[in-house]
Structure 1
Amino acid sequence: MTDYIRKILDTRVYDVAVNTPLDPMVRLSARLGCAVLLKREDLQPIFSFKIRGAYNKISQLSPAQRAAGVICASAGNHAQGVALSAQRLGIKATIVMPVTTPPIKVDAVRYWGGNAVLFGDTFDEASAHARQLQAEHGLTFVHPYDDPDVIAGQGTIGMEILQQHPDPIEAVFVPIGGGGLAAGVASFIKFLRPETKVIGVEPVDAASMKAAIAAGERVVLDRVGLFADGVAVRQAGAENFRICRELLDSVIVADTDEMCAAIKDIFEDTRVLSEPAGALALAGLKSYVAANPQRSGALVAINSGANLNFDRLRHVAERAEVGEAREILLGVTIPEQPGSYRRFIQTIGNHNITEFNYRYADQKQANVFVGLKLGGARSEKAELIGQLETLGYKVLDISADETAKLHIRYMVGGRAPPALRDEMILRFEFPERPGALLKFLDQMGPDWNITLFHYRNHGADYGRVLVGLQVPEADRASLSARLDALGYPYEDETINPAYQMFLNG
């Protein structure tokens, strides 16, 4: 450990990296009842901590190694760190990336002066090609985590944390992919403040370090989840495992929903959109708080990066509420008969509906996909499900079902059976407030069967709703009168070509 302390103190990372702030998360601290601090590595020139280790490694190369150039394999933040570091030092950098790498990442490497070489469909193929080029051209390979100089560069984050917060720190939470950041931070903090816990956090579907520590040796995961792509590593580094096994107090895991909720927490306190791997440590911190009600000292989470693809925001926003235990997703079976919707909505009570999907299936029962807002109490979900089951509803909790959340929720429905007659399709704008749906059902009364219903909260002041009603021709004037009295804007979409093509029998 002493060797690493010396290496950390001797780094030259500040030639290119910045000493990032340790910001209090005021809103989250108030909610959790403890002091939560966020180490802002999203403020680095490449929006990630990776610049530290890459620069420390490259800056220590010999003149001959510098003249030959450096190479790495990466499709993420390490690639940018190597490219920028080499540019600042006047060294040629080759970055091998899979051909499937999004153009935005390839462009970022080229912006920093790196020679982006696209090879293979997977990271393993790109890495093997990088090693081949290294041997052929005498290049220096810059490993993203399994290198003492890289570990020491990342360890400067631990040094800064202790300088910035001299008061007691109960625990520092560090995201783990290959383990370079965790090894470096733990080396420094455990040397100066052994009483401070250093806790690693991994995605539940990419927990290679946790598995290695449990097994007493490095293991190779069969596969890893890619939501937190910055830490999607199948095997922890050898040197990283040696250090983490000795110094980490524990390794905990977080799922996709918990990471999304942490991204939202960071945004609400800083107005920064963290990448999933960047919010991983905060997700672990929140789990720690829930499991440890008695605490002393501040809790620190490292926001390791903010390189988030814009098109992921919709998914993140949708999953954050489930991750915060503020939304529940249920599959509920109700009788297929007039009035059953109203009874079900009355049973839900004052819970705000966030989603409601249904399509007529048969004459006996209907399966409803429903999302409900919760107040945040962990017992509330069980109480609600118990209440519905007591009243005879068959309930399936699908809040943690990845297939349901990613796919099935958007596929509820299909073509109406031939027996369905007199269906009208109406598109509404409901006011976004509790009771709006019940008001609609009260106005419709039990006269017409609901055959389709789709609604999703979009964060606006009104909700977009598609409704199917079984209305005989003779009743349509009466329906129009009731809708006019309701006062909700609507359009008749019965002859809409998309409906005719995909939903009409």
Structure 2
Amino acid sequence: MPTPPTDYLERILTSRVYDVAIESPLDIAPNLSRRTRNTILLKREDLQPVFSFKLRGAYNKMSKLTPEQRQQGVITASAGNHAQGVALSASKIGCEATIVMPVTTPQVKIDGVLSRGGKVVLFGESYSDAYQHAMELVATSGKVYIPPFDDPDVIAGQGTIAMEILRQHPDPIDAVFVAIGGGGLAAGVASYIKRLKPEIKVIGVQPVDSDAMRQSIAAGHRVELKDVGLFADGVAVKLVGEETFRLCRELLDEIILVDTDAICAAIKDIFEDTRAITEPAGALAVAGAKAYAEREHCEGRTLVAINCGANMNFDRLRHVSERSELGERREAIIAVSIPETPGSFKKFCNIIGQRNITEFNYRFADPKLAHVFVGIQISGREDVERIIDALKTEDLEGIDLTDNEMAKLHIRHLVGGHAPQLQDERVLRFEFPERPGALKRFLDAMRTEWNISLFHYRNHGADYGRVLVGIQVPAADNEAFQHFIDTLGYPCNEETDNPAYKLFLGKTLR
């Protein structure tokens, strides 16, 4: 039977979690606090033994098993943090744990379960397939199913995080931000805080493409999503729990939605303050706190964000780094059309001025009009409007692609191709010093009659930038061109005979 919200106080106070969990620290985020002009405190659940809060609820549920149930063993379906929490808890209480995982589960997560003594069963292509198979095994084996979120004991175990927050910070707190997937963490935290400190706002945070709880609360009943975004896979839940829905609907003050760029920016913020790398779901609360502070224009408040997990796949870091600057509104992506005439490129750069160019993609394609894909460091969204207006003043068309998902994910890496009409093209790979004015110096030193036919650059955070440039240089100008290279002083390698250039970018198909 559903448990009344008031009963959760006793459940949380009597939860058994510290046989496996630590009381995670509540640390200030100094850089983030300074930038937002608020005190941002991070509840470091990423420091738990399984790098996630999930072991709290799993162990609290499993600690209540009878000797007979322990003898039978437990089972769950999970492809992530809950699986590792169940495996560790089972090893602690001395029972067998079977974890049903989709066949698509990354090996690192399978290894995490196996290393903690869990038995892995791979079944199906999705979590739903794995869950159905787990239920079949429960029916035939007699094992006890350990739910990931929709259970009073699991909810109460997660609620011990709120108990620690109020004990660790007895001074006033304005709001606590918590990620929502199935809702177990948010329900537990809200149940405790709203009973003891109802003046503290408890604000849920969800990705824009995985907002089952927000849609359910808006509709007044549980809404099952057809699809969910998988970037923040730790909260990619199509249908929230019955009990978690009831508690979140009654107790949460609001739910804030954030996009992928904002999540990536939050991961970077956490890293800069803690040197820890959280998973996307683990950074949701920080992204929500930042969005709230910006929306409310608040200063001097105390905001707590629960860093709920750090099981990050290493191969995602490239994507996170790529998108974090966009999420911080420190970079804009703009498509610019300029006349394909000598001097136009320099004219464009003069409009950009001293702003740092973070990426530049261009390939000759049309004899009259050039289309340039450029990333520019900005100080805020209003800076983009100023750039677009300045381009219009010079009769250049600019389109803001900063919020264009296809452009950010794909087009930026596909600009280019063969240019069969080009003559005398030479391709060189430069190392530009990573400082404002480096590109302008290059253009000032180059003869205006030498046409730039290809340009690709991306800032990677080093003290120099790697740039690939194609320049049309008549054979009669080879000596003068070499003098330009020598006096420029930038490290350079000629790549005109590189087979990769000939195959993908050269004058003719080979």
TM-score above 0.5, yes or no? yes
Please tell me the root mean square deviation across aligned C-alpha atoms, in Å: 0.9
**SS at the partner of 2:412?**
helix
Deviations 1:279-329 (A, max 9, x none): 000000000000112456410000001111111111111111110000001
Matched residue, 2:341: 337
Deviations 1:315-362 (A, max 9, x none): 111111110000001111111111111000011001000000000011
Matched residue, 1:449: 451
Matched residue, 1:281: 285
Q: Contact 2:38–2:298 (CA<8 Å) still a contact in 1?
A: no
Identity of aligned residues (%): 62
Q: Contact 1:430–1:464 (CA<8 Å) still a contact in 2?
A: yes
**SS at the partner of 1:290?**
helix
Q: Contact 1:56–1:150 (CA<8 Å) still a contact in 2?
A: yes
Matched residue, 2:440: 438
Matched residue, 1:211: 215
Matched residue, 1:165: 169
Q: Which has the larger displacement, 175-184 or 396-405?
A: 396-405
Displacement after TM superposition at 1:175 (Å)? 0.2
Q: Contact 1:168–1:297 (CA<8 Å) still a contact in 2?
A: no
**SS at the partner of 1:15?**
coil
Q: Contact 1:145–1:178 (CA<8 Å) still a contact in 2?
A: yes
Q: What letter corresponds to residue 451 of structure 1 in structure 2? A: S
Instruction: Report matched runs for 1:92-107 at 5 Å.
Output: 92-107=96-111
Instruction: Report matched runs for 1:464-483 at 5 Å.
Output: 464-483=466-485
Say if 2:376 is the partner of 1:372: yes
How many residues of Structure 1 are paired with residues of Structure 2 in the alignment?
A: 503
Deviations 1:472-504 (A, max 9, x none): 111111111111111111111111000011111
Matched residue, 1:310: 314
> Structure 2 CA distance, aligned partners of 1:18 and 1:353?
45
> Structure 1 CA distance, aligned partners of 2:301 and 2:476?
72
Displacement after TM superposition at 1:390 (Å)? 2.6
Displacement after TM superposition at 1:381 (Å)? 2.0
**SS at the partner of 1:421?**
coil
Say if 2:407 is the partner of 1:387: no
**SS at the partner of 2:158?**
helix
Matched residue, 1:499: 501
Matched residue, 2:152: 148
Q: Contact 1:333–1:395 (CA<8 Å) still a contact in 2?
A: yes
Matched residue, 2:82: 78
Say if 2:123 is the partner of 1:119: yes
- Structure 2 residue runs of 5 or longer lacking an equivalent are none
- Determine which of 244, 254, 270 is the counterpart of 2:258: 254
Q: Which has the larger displacement, 117-126 or 43-52?
A: 117-126
> Structure 2 CA distance, aligned partners of 1:89 and 1:390?
72
> Structure 2 CA distance, aligned partners of 1:452 and 1:47?
46
- Determine which of 266, 273, 277 is the counterpart of 2:270: 266
> Structure 2 CA distance, aligned partners of 1:353 and 1:457?
8
**SS at the partner of 2:174?**
strand
Deviations 1:68-123 (A, max 9, x none): 11001111000000000000000100000111111111011000000011111111
Matched residue, 2:487: 485
- Determine which of 236, 245, 248 is the counterpart of 1:244: 248
- Determine which of 405, 412, 419 is the counterpart of 2:421: 419
**SS at the partner of 1:343?**
helix
**SS at the partner of 2:410?**
helix
Say if 2:29 is the partner of 1:25: yes
Say if 2:186 is the partner of 1:182: yes
Matched residue, 2:352: 348
Displacement after TM superposition at 1:6 (Å)? 0.7
Q: What letter corresponds to residue 74 of structure 2 in structure 1? A: V
> Structure 1 residues 434 and 295, CA, compared in 2 at 3 Å: closer, same or farther?
closer
> Structure 1 CA distance, aligned partners of 2:392 and 2:90?
63
Q: Contact 1:339–1:445 (CA<8 Å) still a contact in 2?
A: no
Q: Contact 1:330–1:370 (CA<8 Å) still a contact in 2?
A: yes
Displacement after TM superposition at 1:389 (Å)? 2.2
Displacement after TM superposition at 1:445 (Å)? 2.7
- Determine which of 113, 138, 150 is the counterpart of 1:134: 138
> Structure 2 CA distance, aligned partners of 1:191 and 1:262?
30
**SS at the partner of 1:37?**
strand
**SS at the partner of 1:261?**
helix
Displacement after TM superposition at 1:463 (Å)? 0.7
Q: Contact 1:170–1:296 (CA<8 Å) still a contact in 2?
A: no
Deviations 1:142-201 (A, max 9, x none): 111111110000000011111111111110000000000000000000000000000000
> Structure 1 residues 487 and 465, CA, compared in 2 at 3 Å: closer, same or farther?
same
Matched residue, 2:201: 197
Say if 2:406 is the partner of 1:403: yes
Q: Contact 2:80–2:234 (CA<8 Å) still a contact in 1?
A: yes
Displacement after TM superposition at 1:395 (Å)? 1.3
Q: Contact 1:333–1:365 (CA<8 Å) still a contact in 2?
A: yes
> Structure 2 CA distance, aligned partners of 1:297 and 1:470?
58
Q: What letter corresponds to residue 433 of structure 2 in structure 1? A: P
Deviations 1:209-258 (A, max 9, x none): 11001111110111111110000111111110000000000001110000
> Structure 2 CA distance, aligned partners of 1:205 and 1:239?
23
**SS at the partner of 2:429?**
strand
Q: Which has the larger displacement, 397-406 or 76-85?
A: 397-406
> Structure 2 CA distance, aligned partners of 1:77 and 1:199?
22
Displacement after TM superposition at 1:415 (Å)? 1.1
Deviations 1:248-272 (A, max 9, x none): 0000111000001101110111110
> Structure 1 CA distance, aligned partners of 2:164 and 2:463?
44
**SS at the partner of 2:493?**
strand
- TM-score normalised according to structure 1 size: 0.98
Q: Contact 2:37–2:299 (CA<8 Å) still a contact in 1?
A: no
Q: What letter corresponds to residue 319 of structure 1 in structure 2? A: R
Q: Contact 2:97–2:119 (CA<8 Å) still a contact in 1?
A: yes
> Structure 2 CA distance, aligned partners of 1:464 and 1:473?
26
